[in-house]
Homo-oligomer: A and B are copies of this chain.
Amino acid sequence: MQSLIGELFFKAFDNPLLSQGHDSASLDLPLGKIAFTTDSYVVKPLFFPGGDIGSLAVHGTVNDLAVCGARPLYVSAAFIIEEGLEMETLWKIALSMGKAAEACSVRIATGDTKVVDKGKGDGLFINTAGIGVIEHPVPISPKQIKPGDRVIVSGDIGRHGIAIMAVRSGIDFETEIKSDSASIAPEAMALVSGGVQIKCMRDVTRGGLASVLNELAVSAEVSIEIDESAIPVREDVSAACELLGFDPLYVACEGRFVAVVHPDSTNLALQILGPKSRCIGEVQSQGEVAVWLKSCLGTRRVLALLSGEQLPRIC
């Protein structure tokens, strides 16, 4: 079985690096600082509208590199397979992974497979680590965030989480809501090369927009005020959230990011990101750490960090 699986991945990821047949891949990197990241994917179910665990595992790691201003180059792919997983399922996921990697211009450079006994896993877990190169001098980090900076979101939020929950709950919405799972690298790279004064970027995943904003507020030691009416949520997502009892601000995306930019760069950033993007708020005082939501009715409330996970195993 081990060798069967090996062959399967070689075929699906077909590239000369994997054929080196060695314990590590040997890579020539361009000059520059390197970004290095890792994520495991335990999403349930393995397939969902708009993607699967394989494409998600590529996009997620590519996005973690891109929001640090790095151009994604290589990913690793490690599989923990529960005994009994259908070979056809694995094949579909591997193909989807190979396709996603190609679309993201990254190469799957190295991999690993472990099989665990039935009942000791859950079909399939995937880990991807990623290497990217930082080819510009712009310091992108929460520490750069200052009062007056604007907060931009790259597109409508909440679709990944709703796509997963729809499958899990078995509810049919009027329109099928597809995950937004995708690489945000082209958009992030375009902001950098377009001369936007980026302070920080972060992809919106587990915990949704509210969690990302809270993490940024804590790291930068600032307060952030967000305008509820400016936050892009599709009508069908909003309706689904209501039905399922979720707040869209806490629902995961997998193809959206937040960019905090110097106020002078706001319009340029919005122009580069296109009509899906919105300026949703601004950084306020340094010292007070909080995220404030100005509601559509004009009231102001703290957008707290959720204490638990609203949706476990969303990615």
Contacts and interface: CB of A to CB of B under 8 A. Distances in A.
B40 A35 contact: no
A38 B77 contact: yes
Interface of A: 1-2, 20-29, 33-42, 63-65, 67-68, 70, 74, 76-80, 109-112, 114-117, 119-122, 125, 127, 129-132, 134, 141-142, 202-203, 219, 308-309, 312-313
Contact of A36 (B24, B78, B134): B24
A142 B21 contact: yes
A308 B2 CA distance: 8
B130 A37 contact: no
Contacts of A26: 33-35, 68, 70, 134
Q: Which of A37, A116, A203 has the most CB of B within 10 A?
A: A37
The oligomer's copy count stands at 2
A35 B42 contact: no
A203 B185 CA distance: 36
Contact of A142 (B22, B38, B120): B22
B114 A22 contact: no
Contacts of A77: 38
Given A22-B68, A23-B64, A119-B119, A39 B112 contact: yes
Contact of A20 (B121, B130, B141, B308): B141
Contacts of A65: 23-24
B27 A34 contact: yes
Nearest to A63: B23
Contacts of A1: 308
Given A27-B34, A115-B312, 18 more contacts: A21-B219, A25-B36, A26-B33, A26-B34, A26-B70, A27-B35, A37-B110, A38-B112, A38-B127, A40-B80, A40-B114, A80-B80, A110-B129, A112-B127, A116-B122, A121-B121, A127-B127, A131-B131
A169 to B, nearest CB: 16
Given A42-B80, A131-B131, A309-B2, A37 B24 contact: yes
